[in-house]
Amino acid sequence: MSNTKTPMTSHGLWLPPMQQQIFRDLLHVFSYPGRLAECTAESMTWLALLAALTDGEVTIADPHGLIAADIWPKLEARSGTPETATFIVADGGRTMDFQPCTGSLESPETGATLLLRVAALGEHSEDGVLLNLSGPGIQGNTELFVSGLHPSWLIARAGLAVFPLGIDLLLCDEYRFAALPRTTRVETGDLI
């Protein structure tokens, strides 16, 4: 994955109908962890998700410098550190080198949501990993293939999960996204 910042190409991303559609898709993937949703925006998937999720009341951390300077005003959110931000956008192919907020017993909903950019979702590849998922919203179990996800993200997620505390993950490739809420149990299969 390239570390270069890609400019926003779709003005429709900032319009309410597009953001409402993306938000409905987000509700669906959080209700059914591991299911893939197609991003309907003509833009980077992770940016479309941020546009639908953020407002002036939240903070975003960008530890890998993925958000271009001209995009910040459109997001309306404040910049934060990875340890305190509401939302964190990161390159999932890199090592996780920070500890996101997991919430508190009084306010577990303040745990961070991480948007991780990965190479591909749902496609077998040599550098991919098979995730075996179970928990609320999954009948029995389901599988999700992810390429370009450094193992440190899953290790850290497991170490931070002491329900109701934890972090929620949104995995995004160029066209699709999937959710791994904190209530989802994740076991990794062999490398594909």
pLDDT in tens, 80-104: 999 999 999 999 999 999 999 999 9
What single string gives the DSSP state of each residue in the chain? Answer: ---SPPPP--GGGGSHHHHHHHHHHHHHHHHSTT--EE--SSS-HHHHHHHHH--TT-EEE-TT--S-TTTHHHH-PEE--TTT-SEEEEETTSPP-S------SS-GGGS-EEEEE-SEES---TTEEEEEEESTT-SS-EEEEEES--HHHHHHHHHH-BTTB--EEEEE-SSEEEEE-TT-EEEEEEE-
Which of 91 and 9 is assigned the larger pLDDT? 91
**C-beta separation of 153 from 116 below 8 A:** yes
Whole-number Å distance between alpha carbons of 55 and 37: 23
Q: Which residue has the higher pLDDT, 162 or 100?
A: 100
pLDDT at position 14 is 83
For 157-186, what is the mean pLDDT? 92
Indicate whether 139 pLDDT > 50.
yes
For residue 111 the two structure tokens come to 């745990």
- Chain centre to alpha carbon of residue 183: 15
The Cα 119–Cα 34 span in angstroms is: 16
Delineate the domains of the chain, giving CATH numbers in brackets. Answer: 13-191 (3.40.50.11310)
Report the pLDDT value the prediction gives residue 43, as an integer from 0 to 100: 77
| 7: pLDDT strictly greater than 70 | no
- Quote the percentage of the chain above a pLDDT of 70: 92
Sign for the pseudo-dihedral over CA of 189, 89, 170, 125: negative
**Predicted local confidence at residue 59, as pLDDT:** 97
- What integer best gives the mean pLDDT of the chain? 89
Work out the pLDDT band at 190, boundaries 50, 70, 90: low
124 near 179, Cβ under 8 Å? no
pLDDT at 42: 74
pLDDT tens for each residue of 10-59? 467 888 898 999 999 999 999 999 999 999 887 789 999 999 999 999 99
